[in-house]
């Protein structure tokens, strides 16, 4: 693959494993902003194609999925699964005395899993000679990115192609009271390890809400899920939403559907106690659900 260069200047010539030559007058053929699964997989692929690649990351390698998404939730779920199965072991003749969920250890193990996997991705990037540039990237020109690190240092990097793989941010719905103490998003919840939440209300019966409801209910907390649409998992097949509702209810989760939350209020002086009202669409009643934490 021989590409023409659009600018005069010092040429960096790369001879790839397959003997193809790439010539570029930029520091990199491809600069990827964001080292989440989108960014690092693209980097591996581009490197395989013989490009000189760098990834810019302002936080931790692995992005949302590894650091505050898919992986930490699955690590917590593994612990809560084992706890639930053991707690119900007597039904199949396996009795355990003094069973106890060590919430601190569950949180620590989750962090250990993340460290190991993060090390794996960093190791692969290093092995493939993909540069990881730490800092926040700002595209300042067609081929130029300015990177600012946490202590204010800056570097200007040039690349033939720039790929934006910056992911997304947690969305806080515009419900009055959502800025009250005790109202948290999924990132803050994961930062709490697996701390006990005796009364936990989750607004939103999508995949993430249901995953957290399952984890905390299996660990023994009282969980309420409130969904504005007429079923859980509203974007997936109807039957699945109904079946998940039954599964959650068997675990002791209170599930409210057709219940758009109107507002969140702090009613008592106790830490983080919030009340919310969720009038069901068909029966326009007002309902208040008490909680210690609200996701
Ligand atoms: C709680 C939770 C559970 C989830 N569970 C699952 C699951 O089970 N299965 C599943 O498929 N998906 C799951 N997801 C979704 C999954 O995490 C995302 O789809 C995936 O991480 C998107 O990858 P990405 O590379 O596009 O973005 P991200 O993973 O968000 O990575 C983007 C990266 O870009 C960096 N960045 C942003 N701006 C800049 C900048 N200016 N300069 C430098 N770096 C920057 C960020 O720090 C971040 O590391 C879950 C998400 C959450 C929140």
Which residue puts its alpha carbon closest to atom 18 of ligand 1?
65
CA–CA separation, 249 vs 259, rounded Å? 17
Which residue puts its alpha carbon closest to atom 45 of ligand 1?
34
**Ligand 1 binding pocket mutation candidate from 34, 68, 209 (most atoms within 8 A of CB):** 34
| Domain range 186-294, its CATH number among 3.50.50.60, 3.75.10.20, 1.20.1510.10, 3.30.365.10 | 3.50.50.60
Determine the topology of domain 1-169 in CATH. FAD/NAD(P)-binding domain (3.50.50)
Atom in ligand 1 nearest the alpha carbon of residue 167: 27
Asked if 33 contacts 163 with a C-beta cutoff of 8 angstroms, the reply is yes
CA torsion 6-8-13-16 (nearest 10°) is 0
Asked if 131 contacts 70 with a C-beta cutoff of 8 angstroms, the reply is no
Ligand 1 within 6 A of 70 CB?
A: yes
Distance 36 CA to ligand 1 centre (A): 6
Confidence check: pLDDT of 263 > 80:
yes
Ligand 1 within 6 A of 289 CB?
A: no
Ligand 1 within 6 A of 187 CB?
A: no
Instruction: From residue 262, give the alpha-carbon distance in Å to each of 253, 281, 289.
Output: 21, 12, 12
| Lookup result for tokens 């720039």 | 162
Which residue puts its alpha carbon closest to atom 52 of ligand 1?
69
Ligand 1 within 6 A of 121 CB?
A: no
Asked if 145 contacts 159 with a C-beta cutoff of 8 angstroms, the reply is yes
Confidence check: pLDDT of 201 > 80:
yes
Lowest-pLDDT choice from 163-167, 255-259, 274-278: 274-278
Confidence at residue 137, expressed as pLDDT on a 0 to 100 scale:
97
Which H helix or E strand runs over 131?
strand 131-134
**Residues forming a β-bridge with 144:** 141, 158
pLDDT, mean of residues 203-227? 95
CA–CA separation, 26 vs 7, rounded Å? 9
Confidence check: pLDDT of 41 > 60:
yes
User: Domain coordinates of the chain in residue numbers?
Assistant: 1-169, 186-294
């Amino acid at each position: 693959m021989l590409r023409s260069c659009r600018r005069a200047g010092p040429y960096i010539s790369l001879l790839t494993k397959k003997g193809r030559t790439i010539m570029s007058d930029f520091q990199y053929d491809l600069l990827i902003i964001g080292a989440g699964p989108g960014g690092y997989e693209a980097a591996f692929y581009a490197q395989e194609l013989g490009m000189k690649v760098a990834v810019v990351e302002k936080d931790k390698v692995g992005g949302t999925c590894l650091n505050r998404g898919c992986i930490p939730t699955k690590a917590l779920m593994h612990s809560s699964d084992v706890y639930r199965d053991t707690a119900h072991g007597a039904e199949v003749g396996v009795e355990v005395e003094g069973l106890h969920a060590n919430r601190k250890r569950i949180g620590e193990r989750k962090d250990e899993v993340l460290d190991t996997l993060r090390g794996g991705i960093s190791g692969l990037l290093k092995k493939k000679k993909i540069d990881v540039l730490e800092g926040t990237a700002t595209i300042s020109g067609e081929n130029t990115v300015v990177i600012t690190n946490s202590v204010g240092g800056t570097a200007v990097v040039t690349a033939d192609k720039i790929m934006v793989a910056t992911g997304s941010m947690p969305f806080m719905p515009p419900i009055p009271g959502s800025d009250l103490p005790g109202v948290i998003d999924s990132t803050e919840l994961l930062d709490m390890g697996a701390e006990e939440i005796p009364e936990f209300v989750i607004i939103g019966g999508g995949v993430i809400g249901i995953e957290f409801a399952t984890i905390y209910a299996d660990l023994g907390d009282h969980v309420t899920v409130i969904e504005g649409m007429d079923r859980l998992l509203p974007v997936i097949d109807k039957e699945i939403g109904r079946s998940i509702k039954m599964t959650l209810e068997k675990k002791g989760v209170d599930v409210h559907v057709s219940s758009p939350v109107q507002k969140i209020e702090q009613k008592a002086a106790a830490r983080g106690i919030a009340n919310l009202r969720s009038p069901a669409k068909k029966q326009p009643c007002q309902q208040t659900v008490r909680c210690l934490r609200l996701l």
